[in-house]
Structure 1
Amino acid sequence: MTSVDAEPTVRVLIVDDHPLFRSGLRAALDSSDDIRVVAEADTAAEVPDAVELHRPDVVLMDIMLPGASGIEATRTLAERAPGVPVLILTMCDDDSLLHALRAGARGFLLKGAGRDTVLHAVRTVATGGAAFGPHIAERIGALLSGLGPAGAPQVLPMLTAREREVLDLVARGHNNHRIARELVVAEKTVRNHIGHIFDKLQVDCRAQAVARARDAGLGTD
C-alpha cells in the first residue's frame, strides 16, 4: 500500500492490482485541482485499514482483485464505513452492475472511460450522488427488473450470456475440461467464468452454484 501526503478537497483511495493502471489513474486524478489520491491498495484485504488510516472521501474500486473481489470489499465497507462511497471502475461489463449496486456501490464506470468522465463521477459520488458511465445508466432499469436488452425475461440477469452458458454446463455435471472443449475455449477461460459466476451468485462452491442454476431452470433437458 502506497500513501501520498496531500490535503485535497476530494480524497481518493485507488484499489486496483495493476500498478501501471493505478499510476495512470492517479496522474489523471491528481491533474485536477480539487481531487487528490491519498492512498493506493492492490487487494481487497487492504481496504478497511487504508480507509481507516487515510479517511478518503471516495474509494475507486476494481472488481477483479486477488483474493476477495472488489464487490466483497464494497460490501464490507458498506457495513463498516457506510459514509465512504465506492465508485466501481472495472473492465467487467455492465452485467456486474446489479451485483455491485446490491453490495453498496454508489457508481459504476468501465475502464477506458475518459478523464473528464472519471473526474465528474468522483466529484458526484463524493457529494452524495450516484454516477454511471455511458450506456450503463440506460441498462439499470432493465437489470433491476430482470429484463434483458430486448425486454424479454432473462434467467439470472446478473450473469452474462456466456456465464449462463457455462453455468448450464456446470449444472449438467460437466467438468472444466469438457466445458472448455464444448465451448472451444481454454480451461483458464472457463475457470475465470466460473469465478465470476460464484461472485455474482454469492456462492462458495460448485454445488451451491448448481443448486442456484437448477432453481433457475438451467442444467435440465
Structure 2
Amino acid sequence: MRIKILLADDNAFIREGMKIILTTYDEFDILGMVKDGQEAFEYCKNHDVDIALLDVRMPNMNGVEATKLIAAHTTTKPLILTTFDDDEYILEAIKNGAKGYLLKNTDPEHIRDAIRSVYNGHSIIQDVILEKIKSNLTVTNEEVTKIDTSSFTQRELSILALISKGYSNKEISKQIFISEGTIANNVSSILGKTGLEHRTQLAIYYLTGKVSK
C-alpha cells in the first residue's frame, strides 16, 4: 500500500524539491502539488489523499487555516512543513488538527519516517520545534494553569514529562525501564484523562497547563 501525498507550498522550488525527495521512496505516491491552502483543501475534498504536507505561509489561505478545514471535512492527515519564522503558528495549528511538524531543512530520512508515523496514526513533533514552543511561552506565572496531578499516577507523570521533551515511546522505555507496550498503555490512559488526541497536545498541556484541542 503506497501512501498518497499532496504537496502544498507557494514556492515552486520547494514543491519540486520535495517531490524529487519523496519520489525516491517507493512507498510514496505524490498525487498532486498546489500553491495555496484553498487549493489544498479543495484537492483533499475531491481526492483520496492520505497525507497533506502543508507550508504555513501561503496566499489566499495559509497552512493553519487549511489544516482546520482538511482535518474537519476530510480523512486526510495534515502535516505542517515550516520554518523557524513560522513558530507563532504552531500552537494554532495543533488546535486545528495538525498531526506534526517538519522543518524545511529536515533530513530526507526523517521526513520519510515522519510521514510514515503520521500515516500510521501517530503525531510527531521535532525536538527543535518543541524547544521553540518552550522558548516562546511568554505567559506570566498568573496566566499559567498548573496541571492537576491528582488524576495521574506517578508513572504517568514521568511519562508526561518525557513526552514534553519530545521522546518517543521507545526512548521513554529506555529511560524508565518498562516495556514499550506498557508505555503505550499509559499514554492511552493519559490521553483519556485529558481528553486530548495526540502526544503533541500532551506536550503543550504539560508545558503550559492548558488543554489545547
Q: TM-score range by the shorter chain?
A: 0.5 to 0.7
Residue 114 of structure 1, CA deviation: 1.0
Residue 80 of structure 1, CA deviation: 0.8
What is residue 50 of structure 1 aligned with on the other side? 43
Q: How many residues align?
A: 143
Residue 15 of structure 1, CA deviation: 0.5
Compare relative contact order (CA 8 Å, sep 6+) and give the higher one, 1 or 2. 2
Does structure 1 residue 71 correspond to structure 2 residue 102?
no
TM-score, with length taken from structure 1: 0.58
Q: 1:18-47: CA deviations, max 9, x gaps?
A: 111101100111101111211111011212
Match of 1:84 among 59, 76, 79: 76
Higher Cα Rg, which structure? 1
Mapped partners of 1:136, 1:59: distance in 2: 19
Residue 96 of structure 1, CA deviation: 2.4
Q: Which amino acid aligns with 1:41?
A: V
Mapped partners of 1:156, 1:41: distance in 2: 40
The aligned runs of 1:1-221 (5 Å cut-off) are: 9-81=2-74, 83-91=75-83, 92-138=85-131, 142=134, 147-148=137-138, 153=140
Gaps of 5+ in 1: 1-7, 158-221
Q: Which amino acid aligns with 2:119?
A: A
Gaps of 5+ in 2: 145-213
Q: Which amino acid aligns with 1:10?
A: I
Residue 156 of structure 1, CA deviation: 9.9
Two-structure CA RMSD over aligned residues (Å): 2.6
Q: Secondary structure at the match of 1:50?
A: helix
- Check conservation: 1:93, 1:110, Cα contact below 8 A: no
Mapped partners of 1:53, 1:120: distance in 2: 27
- Check conservation: 2:64, 2:89, Cα contact below 8 A: no
How many percent of aligned residue pairs carry the same amino acid?
28
- Check conservation: 1:30, 1:37, Cα contact below 8 A: yes
Q: Which amino acid aligns with 1:60?
A: L
Mapped partners of 1:77, 1:99: distance in 2: 14
Q: Which amino acid aligns with 1:88?
A: I
Mapped partners of 1:155, 1:96: distance in 2: 23
- Check conservation: 2:3, 2:51, Cα contact below 8 A: yes
Q: 1:154-178: CA deviations, max 9, x gaps?
A: 8999xxxxxxxxxxxxxxxxxxxxx
